[in-house]
Amino acid sequence: MTRLSVNINKIATLRNARGENNPDVVATALDIESFGAEGITVHPRPDERHITRRDVTELAPRLSTEFNIEGYPSPDFIKLVKSVTPTQVTLVPDAPDAVTSNSGWDVLSNNVFLTEVVREFHDAGIRVSIFVNPDVDQIKAAASTGADRVELYTKHYADGYDTDREAAIAPYIVAAEAARNAGLGLNAGHDLSLKNLTYFHNRIPWLDEVSIGHALICDALYLGLKDTVKAYLDCLK
């Protein structure tokens, strides 16, 4: 079974545009869970331009599904995550001013650092996933840190899907097999959508989780949030 974790950053972006509490991030997350999503993902950035630290602390005790917190493992981020002990933390290499995640870790060059971070989160009882490109060497290096999972950065698949979906998926199949052979769980995310998700899942059916935010919220403008969550869940059947 592949879980759908809905990234609610864009809900917070909309709320923050007016400086009030509409839409209510916590209430929306609970609705998304009630619509069938198996997880909620947030990415609290240092400038709090969407998800805030307060959102994280308010969400943690209210959610009934898996809570996944993404971010660069700075001391402040590590402290925040350990204070709420989510199900999973996803480590991303983003600079503080990055608009969105745009690459996986160079795990080979950051192995010592990531190994220490993984150990710290494991000591707190939190599952750890490392965001990587579909590169076998990087996946093997991720396994050596003691991480539980990797999350494949899927933008290149999404970009190539319309032109040649077989060519676009090929490196991801190799990467997914490498992760499985290394004993790692497998997540995926970035630009997955109703258009390309079914094919990705059919070709890599042992995915543990997909994390989808921007495309899902865009679709919800037309389909409504409840029907959109259902449509994404249907892609994973």
Per-residue pLDDT for the chain (237 aa), expressed as one digit of tens each?
999 999 999 999 999 999 999 999 999 999 999 999 999 999 999 999 999 999 999 999 999 999 999 999 999 999 999 999 999 999 999 876 665 667 899 999 999 999 999 999 999 999 999 999 999 999 999 999 999 999 999 999 999 999 999 999 999 999 999 999 999 999 999 999 999 999 999 999 999 999 999 999 999 999 999 999 999 999 999
- 150-188: b (≥16 Cβ within 10 Å) or e: bbbbbbbbbebbeeeeeebbebbeebbebbeebebbbbb
For residue 129, the cross-strand partners are 90, 149
Predicted model pTM:
0.96
DSSP state of 68: E
SS3 state of residue 91: strand
Task: Give 3-235's CATH code, choosing from 3.40.50.2020, 3.20.20.70, 3.40.30.120, 3.30.1540.10.
Answer: 3.20.20.70
**What's the CA gap between 48 and 46, in Å, rounded?**
6
Provide the residue ranges of all domains of the chain, joining segments of one domain with +.
Answer: 3-235
CA distances to 4, 19, 52, 64, 216 from 35, rounded to whole Å, are: 11, 27, 24, 12, 13
Residues labelled catalytic: 43, 70, 190
